[in-house]
């Protein structure tokens, strides 16, 4: 088992993307075109080979500041970590022995002396023990996932809470309309209006990148954007969704503070869930651990699913931090 750290320009993107697409731990956040979009072709990857077969990958972004190197989760990439090749195993011992060798090889390949490493792993990642043995910190967080695969609109609606059903009906009564957007202009408008009123979700420096995510994703089929408007064509809510071959991910939802009573966001997310169902996909709300947001996600009948955060802070920095 051999692991190597390679800059993205030297990675075989076809093999990388094939493994990510087929892996249970892979997601759109690890696809090379998405990584290129959000990181401007400045990411690297740890690739693991068994003989000449690529058997695992892990994206990594190493930056430097004040003479220190660190590897932190990019703001627009929810799940990174390790994606294993999708294969059949003779038994569980074979499976986890194989994964153990891969994780150990990746840990040995992570650059030594990083001041801080902090990544969220995919919910399907199931073998973190080598990180624990090497003194990494393991912490569980929760996302909410709705299994909408193949369900009808009536089946989905029946599982909603009474409060959510009422919100959707209110939005429909208020003549809120949902349309697919081809840019982030509506989203940015809402983000900026909310920022001026004291509510900031994303720093202004990310506005152009959000637009790139939509436009690149529309070209390759990995994203879509929905916007809600009222009867006066005023922007009520907007969103960006990412998707791969098994899940739709709610990257960002934004509700105009001035139109919060229209319940447009509930109707918008309902439409996104229906789109996931028609594509036989799950719907991942991508969190949140914030109580009011968790309550909103739970109303859709979504299930809390744990995912792992793996981190390690340089001992010297940890000492200074005490």
Domain boundary (135, 168, 190) is at 135
Please check whether residue 320 lies inside any domain of the structure. Answer: no
CB of 59 closer than 8 Å to CB of 7:
no
What pLDDT score was predicted for residue 318? 52
- Whole-number Å distance between alpha carbons of 220 and 138: 34
- Helix axes of 185-196 and 207-220: crossing angle, nearest 10 degrees: 160
Range of the domain at 289: 145-306
Domain boundary (135, 167, 190) is at 135
Please check whether residue 315 lies inside any domain of the structure. Answer: no
Shared-domain flag, residues 124 and 164: no
What pLDDT score was predicted for residue 145? 96
Shared-domain flag, residues 98 and 150: no
Nearest to residue 184, comparing CAs of 156, 161, 204? Answer: 204
Please check whether residue 107 lies inside any domain of the structure. Answer: yes
Here the CATH number for the domain that contains residue 269 is: 3.40.630.30
- Whole-number Å distance between alpha carbons of 177 and 191: 19
What pLDDT score was predicted for residue 2? 95
Question: In 3-state terms, what secondary structure has residue 48?
Answer: strand
* pTM of model > 0.95: no
Shared-domain flag, residues 279 and 171: yes
Shared-domain flag, residues 157 and 130: no
What pLDDT score was predicted for residue 316? 59
Domain boundary (77, 110, 135) is at 135
Here the CATH number for the domain that contains residue 93 is: 3.40.630
Shared-domain flag, residues 121 and 231: no
Shared-domain flag, residues 153 and 76: no
Count of domains forming the chain: 2
What are the pLDDT tens digits along the chain (322 aa)?
899 999 999 999 999 999 999 999 999 999 999 999 999 989 999 999 999 999 999 999 999 988 899 999 998 999 999 999 999 999 999 999 999 999 999 999 999 989 999 999 999 999 999 999 999 999 999 999 999 998 999 999 999 999 999 999 999 998 999 999 999 999 999 999 888 877 767 778 888 999 999 999 999 999 999 999 999 999 999 999 999 999 999 999 999 888 877 889 999 999 999 999 999 999 999 977 888 889 999 999 999 999 999 999 986 555 444 3
Tokens encoding 154: 């009536």
Shared-domain flag, residues 92 and 156: no
pLDDT in tens, 274-288: 999 999 999 999 977
């Amino acid at each position: 088992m051999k692991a190597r750290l390679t800059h993205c320009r030297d990675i075989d993107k076809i093999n990388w993307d094939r493994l990510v697409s087929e892996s249970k731990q892979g997601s759109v956040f690890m696809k090379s075109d998405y990584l290129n979009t959000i990181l401007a072709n400045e990411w690297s990857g740890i690739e693991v080979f068994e003989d000449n077969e690529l058997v695992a990958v892990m994206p990594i972004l190493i930056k430097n500041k004040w003479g220190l190197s660190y590897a932190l989760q990019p703001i627009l990439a929810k799940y990174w970590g390790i994606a294993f090749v999708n294969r059949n195993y003779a038994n569980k011992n074979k499976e986890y022995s194989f994964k153990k060798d891969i994780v150990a090889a990746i840990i040995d390949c992570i650059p030594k002396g990083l001041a801080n490493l902090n990544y969220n792993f995919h919910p399907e990642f199931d073998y973190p023990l080598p990180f624990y043995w090497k003194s990494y910190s393991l912490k569980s967080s929760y996302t909410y996932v709705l299994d909408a695969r193949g369900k009808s609109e009536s089946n989905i609606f029946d599982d909603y809470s009474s409060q959510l059903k009422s919100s959707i009906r209110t939005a429909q009564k208020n003549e809120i309309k949902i349309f697919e957007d081809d840019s982030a202009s509506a989203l940015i408008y809402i983000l900026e209006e909310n920022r001026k009123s004291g509510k900031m979700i994303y720093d202004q420096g990310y506005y152009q990148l959000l637009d790139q995510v939509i436009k690149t994703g529309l070209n390759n089929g990995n994203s879509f954007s929905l916007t809600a408007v009222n009867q006066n064509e005023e922007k009520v809510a907007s969103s960006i969704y990412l998707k791969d071959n098994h899940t739709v991910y709610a990257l960002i939802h934004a509700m105009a503070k001035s139109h919060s009573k229209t319940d447009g966001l509930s109707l918008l997310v309902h439409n996104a869930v229906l789109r996931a169902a028609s594509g036989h996909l799950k719907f991942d709300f991508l969190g949140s651990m914030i109580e009011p947001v968790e309550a909103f996600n739970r109303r859709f009948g979504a299930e809390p699913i744990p995912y792992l955060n793996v981190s390690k802070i340089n001992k010297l920095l940890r000492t200074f931090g005490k």
